[in-house]
A and B are shown apart, each in its own frame.
Chain A
Amino acid sequence: MAGVRITGLSKRYVIGKEAFFALEKMNLFIEDGSFTAIVGKSGCGKTTLLRLLCGLEEKTSGDIKFINRGSESNGSDEMRIGIMFQEPRLMPWLTIRENIAFSLFPKQKEIKKDADRHLQTLGLELFKDAYPWQISGGMAQRTALGRALYYDPDIILMDEPFGALDYFTRKKLQNEMVSLFLNQKKTFVFVTHDIEEAVYLSEKVIVLEAGRIVQELPVELPYPRKTNSPEFLNITEGIYKAIIA
């Protein structure tokens, strides 16, 4: 478990001769063990934020501090940050079980029991010896989720993980996410286009617009949530207005 304190974080990109800020002077506190959802239109900087958090991208300015058991640190050295990308990004030469265990390949000789536990909770045990080209898109995303969980990160970043899935699979995985969150002591940061998904899953919804936070909205509803309850609809509508405003 770990929290994150982001202060004045900016990321500047140069495309051709034009420079612009994909993130601009962002301040955000992500609480230890919380579930934060980030929503916003395409190109508002969601992926950029996640990539900065897990160190795949260099920040232009500002600060990212990780808070672990009360002490703050700059680096993600003692911190494990797992990311689930927009695409599954599985290794085509490894089986599903091996893909799940991939993160610890350099450190361990044998695949731990955890891999089988994740295979089971994610409903993949029948396919554990299959190769990525033999499974469906939904299974591939679940494998990617299993891989992120096996890494046992303090913070787990997810970039529209269910964006490419059909309605039913998405619903199923959302429920799996909720039980994962309730059962695991981890900090979740979840990027999505889908406002309903954000409200269904998270304790706090961050609305991004052109690299800036335009709204932070706590969702104080008990899990599991009912998407048709008046409180739920109220919150989704509030976010919807914030985005189109």
Chain B
Amino acid sequence: MRFLKGLLIPFVVLAIWYTGSKSGIWNSFILPSPVQTFETGQYLITSGILLKHVLISLYRVFAGFALAFLLAFPLGIILGMKRQLIDYFELIIEFVRHVPPLATVPMLILWFGIGEISKLVVIVLASFFPIFLNTLDGVLRCDEHLLEVGESFGFAARDRFKYIIFPATFPYILMGMRLGLGYSWRALIGAEIIAATAGIGYMILDAELLSRPDIMIVGILTIGILGTLIDFVFFRITNVFVIWKEGEKTQNGWG
């Protein structure tokens, strides 16, 4: 039911789009009709062109995201456990955090060309901070009272981490990963539009050169649908692990 409600506005937009195109209110060079767009979409799918671009983009996102996680997760944990180290990192992190990853793309092209490395770096830059900051936040917020319970039972530092800090931080880590995944998806498309020879972003840019707004629309729809799908799948998989955070479950949007 909720899903159907959510479809109402897209349907209205589609109806306006359709009537507008049909009655010739707007030029099809600027906005092609939904029928034409649909046919283009069908062609891109059946010919395998869309799939090729999608797979390349997805591959980049997951590779970059995995790399970002491998860097951000341990750093978040270490800084959270050794708070005296935070002072050394605070300024630089604050600085880098305010630089949009896309702003580094021209520089990256200069250094690495338009190959895979520059895209990978953009994604790492985009997803590193949400993962890192949420992990750090989770560790820092770990209830002192619960840590004392472990201490009173004589837990060694390693066990305090394993049995208290990590499980307490886990929901924060997942939240950071979820945000990071969303950020890296967006940053990737940007990077592909600026510099790439394949990928969804490239497909959209290429459509501009060909004056094919229908391809652009198919590209945009693909980006939105895939982004939503990735988030949904990630949420479903991870939500199983955080059954204990009942209050927060409903706030995540997917019900």
Point out residues on A near B: beta carbons under 8 Å: 54-56, 81-83, 85, 87, 89, 91-94, 102-103, 105-106, 131-133, 151
Contacts and interface: CB of A to CB of B under 8 A. Distances in A.
A154 B95 CA distance: 54
Nearest to B245: A92
Contact of B159 (A85, A93, A106, A133): A106
B244 A54 contact: no
Interface stretch (B24-32, B147-155, B192-200, B215-223): B147-155
Contacts of A151: 153
Contacts of B114: none
Nearest to B148: A56
Given A93-B170, A93-B244, A131-B243, A102 B145 contact: no
B106 to A, nearest CB: 45
A106 B155 contact: yes
Given A56-B151, A93-B168, A93-B170, A106 B244 contact: no
Interface string B98-133: 000000000000000000000000000000000000
24 contacts: A55-B152, A56-B151, A56-B152, A82-B152, A82-B153, A83-B152, A85-B145, A85-B148, A85-B149, A89-B145, A89-B148, A89-B149, A91-B146, A91-B149, A91-B168, A92-B244, A92-B245, A93-B167, A102-B149, A105-B159, A106-B163, A131-B246, A133-B246, A133-B247
Nearest to B159: A106
Interface of B: 145-146, 148-149, 151-153, 155-156, 159, 162-164, 167-168, 170, 243-247
A132 B244 CA distance: 8
B94 to A, nearest CB: 31
Nearest to A105: B163
A85 B152 CA distance: 10
Contacts of B152: 54-56, 81-83
Nearest to B151: A56
Given A56-B151, A133-B244, 5 more contacts: A54-B152, A55-B151, A81-B152, A85-B149, A93-B168
